[in-house]
Amino acid sequence: MEEPPSSQKIFQLTRSETTASVPEDKNRLVRLAKEMRVENRSAMDKGHRASAEYKKRRARVESASRGSICSRHGSAVTCRHRPDSVKQPPKSILKSKTSTGGTVVTRSQSTSAETGKENSAGKEKSNCIHVEDIEDEDDEGGEEDCDTDLENEVAKSQISKADNSVEYLYDAACQRFALIPLSAFTRQLEDADIQLNNQGLSSKDMMAISIALLRNTLCTTLSLAGNDIGEDGCRYICEMLQDNVSIVRLNVADNNLKTAGAKLLSYMLKMNAGLQALDASGNGFIEHDAKYFASALQVTFRLKELDLSHNNFSEEGGVLLGAALETNDTIEKLNLSWNSLRRKGAIAIGKGLRSNLGVKQLDLSWNGFATEGAKEIAEALQKNSTLVDLDLSSNRIDAEGAAYLAKGLQANYTLDILKLSKNPLTSFGAQLILQTLKKSETCQLKTLELFDLHLEKDAIELGHEVCELRPEFDLVYGVSLGSKPNMYGGFKRRTVKEKEVERPKEPLQILLDFVQEKGINLMELFSQFDEDNSWSVSRDEFKQGMKNAKIPLTNAQMEELLDSLDKDGDGEVDFGELMFGSKEFEDKQREREEELRRAALAESLCDTAVLVAERADSDGELGN
């Protein structure tokens, strides 16, 4: 059997390829953001200078206003100072000297002053000025610059704050690349969890979003699933994450990233210092792409959750990822479902799990492990001491594979949940695992899921026994008809604990069981009640006859039985009503049994169909 490559070999194989995948301009987004900040600073400086000119003119007017100590009394205005640069007041205003050398202007005297002293008013320059006249003047006189250093510093700080904001960077990027701002993004600019799933984002949209998130410290979760962003969009996100360490959860599922995206994500994982969870499921990765993720797992020690499900790594990819598990102890939750890892992949994963000390939740469903794969996983369970939740659903594991798993569970003391749904275990295979749980003192399994598996009476009874010994244990099983693969929402869920309290028998069933047990028929029983041979008895006579015959019915059950038999409501039960009621009851019982039989048959057909489909998927065609 071919040995899987060592982790050191994987790192050597991928180092040159991942390095080659890095864009030449690694700081492109940073450079673009810097250019936009410079453009913004230049524009704001220009606007600030224009605003400063207005402030200078306004300050001169206010200074003149403050220098004019004015007081109003009646209709007179007294002004004791006038800057020389201010224009003369209207000639209609007359002036007169005051004791202080100032001027008193009396509007009521303006008529006589104009006619009597016009020449003297023209010879002497007045020091009187109205504030209203000052505010309307547009003087170009020489006041010094009124802007202070403090104002300049405040303006610069405002510019710096503005051109570093997420909102500004995004708006500037949209203007630069002629994009319409995405309202779904702008509404979430200050949210910790930014959800942009299924928004139809283009590569330019991703560039603008990435530039905006360069300096964002609020966002911790970024979800971009279902956008088909491709290689370019992935490149922008990865470049952004080389600088941004605030985002700890990234979802890029279903984005058609393919091999180029695998290279970019691998390099980003090696360079990023903050990411803890990555969902890259459904991106069309093939078997050789697994080496990029395997290489990243050798050097990244912060990533705790990794979802690579719904890709096509196949056996070779499974070998590479299994080898990576040997040395990585930081991944706690790993999803490799729907990857067709099959036998070689299962062997490598099992070998990696034996020495792995980090993985707690592992999903390996829909991978076609079959019996040999189940054997390898069972051997890993004997040595692994960290795994808590294991999903092996839809892996073509039969009763023989169940026997291997049962043996592996005997030595395991950490596994809490084991999912074996949609496997052709048969009821016998389930019993093998339940027997182990009943006898083993080390196994701590708390939940065993067996959806889409028909459990016979013996298996259910054994499940009851295990529940009595292990109060925390739960055997979950059920049937799904027409539900989607791996979607348990439409299942009829049943547990053995729900069966512990049996439904009480119907009164007529108790009566029929009594007659069968005594070896008599209903006619003989009814004749004991009918003393006058009229083939009809009252309700009291029927009750008394039931008590004399010692039929185990309570008074409430007797009343219920009489109500069901006395169809015409005349207060009496005749022999015909008794026979009709018993026949009707037996017909209903047969219908129930037929429904159960059909359900069991349909369940068996579902198991067969799933098995055939998995074998066809494993072999490539039904004929193989």
Task: List the single range of 128-132, 256-260, 504-508 with lowest mean pLDDT.
Answer: 128-132
Mean pLDDT value of segment 72-81:
42
Would you say residue 424 has pLDDT above 70? yes
DSSP 228-261: --HHHHHHHHHHHHHH--S--EEE--SS--HHHH
Confidence (pTM): 0.63
Q: What integer is the mean pLDDT of 72-87?
A: 43
Length of the chain equals: 624
Edge-to-edge order in the sheet of strand 447-451: 193-195, 221-223, 249-251, 277-279, 305-307, 333-335, 361-363, 389-391, 417-419, 447-451, 474-479, 492-495
CA 33/CA 107 separation, integer angstroms:
64
Per-residue pLDDT for 353 more than 90? yes
Decide if pLDDT at 103 tops 90: no
Report the half-sphere exposure of 140 (CA within 13 A, side-chain side).
0
The tokens describing 46, both together, are 């220009």
Which helix (H) or strand (E) segment holds residue 135: the answer is helix 131-135
CB contact burial 420-455 (16+ within 10 A = b; e otherwise) = bbbbbbbbebbbbbbebbbebeebbbebbbbbbbbb
Three-state DSSP string of 35-82? HHHHHHHHHHHHHHHHHHHHHHHHHHHHHHHHHCCEEEECCEEEECCC
User: How far is C-alpha 147 from the geometric centre of its chain's CA atoms?
Assistant: 53
Q: Has residue 25 got a pLDDT over 80?
A: no
Residues 351, 345: Cα–Cα separation, whole Å: 10
Q: Report CA dihedral (120, 121, 123, 127) to the nearest 10 degrees.
A: 140
Give the pLDDT of residue 23.
46
Q: What is the mean pLDDT of residues 541-550?
A: 85
**pLDDT of 517 strictly over 60:** yes
In the chain, pLDDT over 90 holds for what percent of residues? 42
Q: Identify the band that residue 32 occupies on the pLDDT scale cut at 50, 70 and 90.
A: confident
Strand partners, 306: 278, 334
Question: Interhelix angle for 7-20 vs 314-325, to 10°?
Answer: 110
pLDDT of residue 209: 95
Q: Which residue has better confidence, 478 or 126?
A: 478
Identify any residues that bridge with 448 across adjacent strands, giving them in sequence order.
418, 475
Confidence of residue 610 (pLDDT cuts 50, 70, 90): low
Cβ contacts of 377 within 8 Å, gap of 6 or more: 346, 349, 350, 353, 364, 369, 390, 392, 405, 408
Whether 371 and 347 have beta carbons less than 8 Å apart is answered as no
Confidence (pLDDT) at 57:
63
The region of weakest confidence among 147-156, 263-272, 291-300 is 147-156
- HSE, CB side, 13 Å, CA atoms: give it for residue 618: 19
Q: How do residues 175-191 score in pLDDT, each as one tens digit?
A: 999 999 999 999 999 99
Where does residue 78 rank: exposed (0-12), middle (13-18), buried (19+ CB within 10 A)? Answer: middle
Other residues' Cβ atoms within 10 Å of the Cβ of residue 138: 6
- Predicted confidence band of residue 87 (pLDDT cuts 50, 70, 90): very low
Mean pLDDT over 312-340 rounds to 95
Average pLDDT over residues 462-488: 71
Question: DSSP labels for 379-402?
Answer: HHHHH-SS--EEE--SS---HHHH
Q: How far apart are CA 115 and CA 187, in angstroms?
A: 73
pLDDT above 50 for 492: no
| Helix (H) or strand (E) run with residue 209 in it | helix 203-212
Residue type, 58: R
Is 262 a residue whose pLDDT tops 90? yes
For residues 251-258, average pLDDT: 96
Q: Who has greater pLDDT, 496 or 319?
A: 319
Poorest-pLDDT segment among 12-26, 530-544, 605-619: 12-26
Residue 507 confidence class, pLDDT cut points 50, 70, 90: confident
Q: Find the helix or strand (DSSP H, E) in which 450 lies.
A: strand 447-451
Closest by Cα among 443, 389, 461 to 420: 389
Over residues 194-213, the pLDDT tens digits come to 999 999 999 999 999 999 99
* pLDDT higher than threshold 80 for residue 400: yes
Task: Say yes or no to pLDDT of 456 above 90.
Answer: no
Q: Are 359 and 327 in contact (CB under 8 A)?
A: no
Stretch 543-557: mean pLDDT: 85
Confidence class for position 40, pLDDT limits 50, 70, 90: low
Mean pLDDT, range 80-95, rounded to an integer: 43
Q: Any idea which of 47-61, 395-409, 503-517 has the lowest mean pLDDT?
A: 47-61
Our CA dihedral for 489, 492, 494, 498, rounded to 10 degrees, sits at 110
Give the list of residues 6+ apart from residue 238 with CB closer than 8 angstroms, or none: 264, 265, 267, 268
Residue 163 CB partners (closer than 8 Å, separation 6+): 36, 37, 40, 41, 169
| Least trusted range by pLDDT, from 2-16, 252-266, 317-331, 455-469 | 2-16
Domains along the sequence of the chain with CATH? 507-604 (1.10.238.10)
Q: Please determine, for residue 598, whether its predicted confidence score (pLDDT) is greater than 80.
A: no
The whole-number pLDDT of residue 64 equals: 64
323 and 353 Cβ atoms separated by less than 8 Å: no
Q: Is the pLDDT of residue 342 over 90?
A: yes
Torsion of CA 374, 375, 376, 378, to 10 degrees: 80
In this structure, the strands spanning 70-73 and 417-419 are unpaired
Least-confidence region, from 308-322, 376-390, 519-533: 519-533
* pLDDT (0 to 100) of residue 197: 96
- The pLDDT value given to residue 495: 57
> pLDDT confidence of 5, banded at 50, 70, 90?
low
Beta-sheet pairing, 193-195 with 361-363: unpaired
Residue type, 506: E
More confident residue, 221 or 496: 221
The HSE-up count of residue 313 (CA atoms within 13 Å, CB side) is: 38
Locus of tokens 């930081």? 330
Local confidence band at 298 (pLDDT 50, 70, 90 cut-offs): confident
- From the centroid of its chain, how far is CA 488? 18
- The answer on pLDDT for 340 being more than 50 is yes
Closest CA to 306 of 287, 286, 292, 288: 292
Q: What is the DSSP letter of 499?
A: G
Question: 442, 411 in Cβ contact below 8 A?
Answer: yes
Which has more pLDDT, 407 or 120?
A: 407
> Which of the pair, 602 or 448, is modelled with greater confidence?
448
State mean pLDDT over 501-529.
79
The pLDDT mean for the chain works out to 76
Residue 550 pLDDT: 85
Task: Provide the pLDDT confidence category of residue 603 given band limits of 50, 70 and 90.
Answer: low
Q: What is the CA radius of gyration of the chain?
A: 44
Q: Dump pLDDT digits (tens) for 47-70.
A: 555 555 656 666 766 666 555 444
More confident residue, 131 or 42: 42
Q: Within a 10 A sphere around the Cβ of 289, how many other Cβ atoms?
A: 26
Range with the poorest average pLDDT among 128-137, 250-259, 515-524, 586-595: 128-137
pLDDT of residue 88 exceeding 80: no
Residue 81 has a pLDDT of 43
If one counts every other C-beta atom within 10 angstroms of the C-beta of residue 11, the result is: 19
The reported pLDDT for the residue numbered 123 is: 42
